[in-house]
Amino acid sequence: MDLRWSESEEAFRAEAREWLTAHVPDGLPSGDTRDGFAAHLEWERALFAARWAVVSWPERYGGRDASLWEWLIFEEEYYRAGAPQRVTQNGIFLLAPTLFEFGTPEQQERYLPRMAAAQDLWCQGWSEPGAGSDLAAVRSSAVRTEGGWLLSGQKTWTTRGAFCTHLFGLFRTDTTAPRHHGLTYFLVPLDAPGVTVRGFPRLDGDEGFAEVFLDGAFVPDADVLGGVNEGWRVAMATTGSERGLTLRSPGRFLASVDRLIGLYRERPDESMRNRVAQSWIEAQAYQMFTLQQVTSILDGEPPGAASSLNKLFWSELDVRLNESAHELLGTDAEFDGEWARAFLFSLAGPIYAGTNEVQRNVVAERLLGLPRK
Amino acid sequence: MRFALDETTQTLRAAVADVLRSEVTPAVIRAGWPGGDWAIVSGVWDKLADVGVIGTLLPEADGGLGLDENALVPVLEEIGYSGLPVPAVETIAVAGPYLTGRLMVAVETAPGEPVPFLGRAQRVVLISDGGLHVYETDTLEIEPGDSVDGSRWVGRVARQPEGGVLLSGDAAAAWQRGVLGTAAVLCGLARRMLDMTIGYVQRREQYGVPVGSFQAIKHTLADALVAVEFARPMVLAAGWAQSVGAADAALQTSAAKVLASDAARQVARTALQCHGAMGYTTEYDLHLFAKRAWALAPSWGSSAWHRARIGEIIA
């Protein structure tokens, strides 16, 4: 056990902190509106120009070859500085790990630099009206045509889909195969003929969701990621990253709980102090769990189904933390604002990236070994 | 940065686990209850002493292993898992750095507090503002009591005695080690009850299927695992903080105790519920572990006490 950062890691932290302190913009409008998204893109491009957009990526794609430890440090500093939400996250954190693992060199060269620079903006096309938690139920299909595929069907709850340029998603390419085996992972430009995108409001009223309708949209063979009918296996690699570390690092909650403590000091309420303390404890626990998990990953043991433990813990922690803020605000909680937004968003945590009910099934069946049926 | 046990600690942990897995059957735990044959329990204690565990924190020059809190945590977690009814926290974590030999030590954390194992330990350490004083149990006037966990032999020291040998003036550090050790034991107990329950719900059939196939059971057990798996690293982190004398060691230790106490309570409740009426009897073994957890959760500061303490510091 040695829970100290090395000198070079501390230097990395200092450099990140200095840059963020000087550059983090004040109060951007919500990234889930058209204008706010544009403002966030400027921020993303500033991050990229200073090589902070994708710190863990290789230098040739605009990263810093940062270690997993340095990535955690960067996240801590990012949220500590109160920096904006990452509107590029579905690309850089969800698609990119899959591209690095399954993409051809040609695909990597074509997509990764533009993704890092926030030129291509990616949204996730998995959920469908009839396929939420039960992802393998997707019905959108791809039919062979000369040089590629014709995609048809409907995706929905696509985060920031109305503002993005590309979609990565699962489409059924073999209707006769068992349902997990007939899927293919496609990279789809949203300006292709036959694609229609309609934004719709999330719980906070912003246009953060979209429905994507595909009506025979052409995608060339070069934009199949990881092989025809291999989509389920390829996609599962991304869910691992999404549930666990890369989507929600501990730095985010350490910063949130600091803000909660700040709110408590502004509006002291003895009866709430233990709940504030509990959120601090839980954020610490998530930090320690993560340090242990990253050590295992670096020792060559990927977390696998254990990433469901992360997802259950951070999502429930986030809801409790924001409920405490809501209580501390008292009747002022009625006014729309940063805390109100955070509260509503925290309630999405137990739903997206696989509902917590599905995660509990995964934990019970794959970690505890309980029978599936 | 490296969050993992080093090789020495892993070896020690494995050695301790080996002894405990082969020696501590439920019958051994029951031998620790009134009417049982205590010699069976003290026999296992001797085997642990042979491995050197009792002197985990004792300097090598005094015949100990010369290790620190990083080793203490996994050792006590294993002892907790086994259910062996011995004053491990008191002897190894609290008095361990100062006492040679293999005598069992009971600890009174503050004047008038109940003292577990008072009816079994050969030595008693009294903690006061003045530090830690050790007494031969025979020289104290004691009021025995009946413990809910019958293997704990709880009692009270009737009045504060004169004399005793000063072991250390640092009552605060001893208290912190006691809290840490108790948190580790609670994690072990929680793991044990969870393991028992996972086994049970796979065997027990109702409506023609194992009850573990029902989502209601799966979800409550998944939540129990989350509680345990997020408490354990916090306890290890608190151990590391104590080992290096980190400025926030007390804060980390309190966080560890909150999570471990709450996890053990949650798992005890879940385990009992998932066993149905089968577990609601002293003939079944679950109570041996659950009653230990219920005794330790409020000991060395309850989770409410530690949470409030954290609140005072941070908010």
Q: Which tens digits make up the pLDDT trace of B67-97?
A: 999 999 999 999 999 999 999 999 999 999 9
Its domain, for residue A354, covers 244-367
Distance of CA B23 to the CA centre of its chain: 18
pLDDT of residue A372: 92
From chain B, the residues in CB contact with A261 under 8 A are 314-315
B150 to chain A nearest CA, in Å?
31
The per-residue pLDDT for range A193-251, each reduced to its tens digit, is 999 999 999 999 999 999 999 999 999 999 999 999 999 999 987 666 555 566 789 99
Residue showing tokens 């203490």: B72
Contact B1 A278 (CB under 8 A): no
pLDDT of residue A243: 54
Write out the H or E segment, with its range, that includes residue A297.
Answer: helix A273-298
Distance, in Å, from the CA atom of A334 to the CA atom of A354, rounded to the nearest integer, reads 30
Contact A288 B233 (CB under 8 A): yes
Tell me, what CATH number does A248's domain have? 1.20.140.10
Residue in chain A nearest B238 by alpha carbon: A288
Distance, in Å, from the CA atom of A239 to the CA atom of A353, rounded to the nearest integer, reads 7
Domain membership flag for residue A177: yes
Last residue of a domain, one of A87, A113, A144: A87
Contact B258 A369 (CB under 8 A): no
Burial A152-190 (b: 16+ CB within 10 A, else e): bbbbbbbbbbbbbebbbbbbbbeeeeebeebbbbbbbeb
* Complex ipTM tops 0.95: yes
**Catalytic positions of A:** 242
- Four-point Cα dihedral A311, A315, A321, A323, nearest 10: -160
User: Are A248 and A223 in a shared domain?
Assistant: no
Distance, in Å, from the CA atom of B277 to the CA atom of A183, rounded to the nearest integer, reads 47
Q: Domain B171-314's class?
A: mainly alpha
Burial B166-199 (b: 16+ CB within 10 A, else e): ebbeebebbbbbbbbbbbbbbbbbbbbbbebbbe
Distance, in Å, from the CA atom of A349 to the CA atom of B305, rounded to the nearest integer, reads 30
Q: What is the mean pLDDT of residues A288-299?
A: 95
| B174 three-state secondary structure | helix
Residue in chain B nearest A365 by alpha carbon: B218
Q: With an 8 Å Cβ cutoff, is A289 touching chain B?
A: yes
Q: With an 8 Å Cβ cutoff, is B49 touching chain A?
A: no
Picking from A178, A109, A188, A115, the residue whose alpha carbon sits closest to that of residue A148 is: A188
User: Are A252 and A203 in a shared domain?
Assistant: no
Q: With an 8 Å Cβ cutoff, is B195 touching chain A?
A: no
Contact B215 A357 (CB under 8 A): yes
B94 to chain A nearest CA, in Å?
22
pLDDT of residue A244: 58
| B245 three-state secondary structure | coil
Last residue of a domain, one of A67, A87, A107: A87
Q: With an 8 Å Cβ cutoff, is B302 touching chain A?
A: no
Picking from A231, A233, A232, A214, the residue whose alpha carbon sits closest to that of residue A223 is: A231
Confidence of residue A131 (pLDDT cuts 50, 70, 90): very high
B279 to chain A nearest CA, in Å?
19
Tell me, what CATH number does A18's domain have? 1.10.540.10
Number of domains composing chain A: 3
Domain membership flag for residue A263: yes
The full set of domain ranges for chain B reads 171-314
> Which of A9, A281, A296 has its CB closest to that of B255?
A281
A258, A259, A288, A291: which to substitute to probe chain B, counting the most B Cβ within 10 Å?
A288
Q: Mean of the per-residue pLDDT values for chain B?
A: 97
Contact A360 B231 (CB under 8 A): no
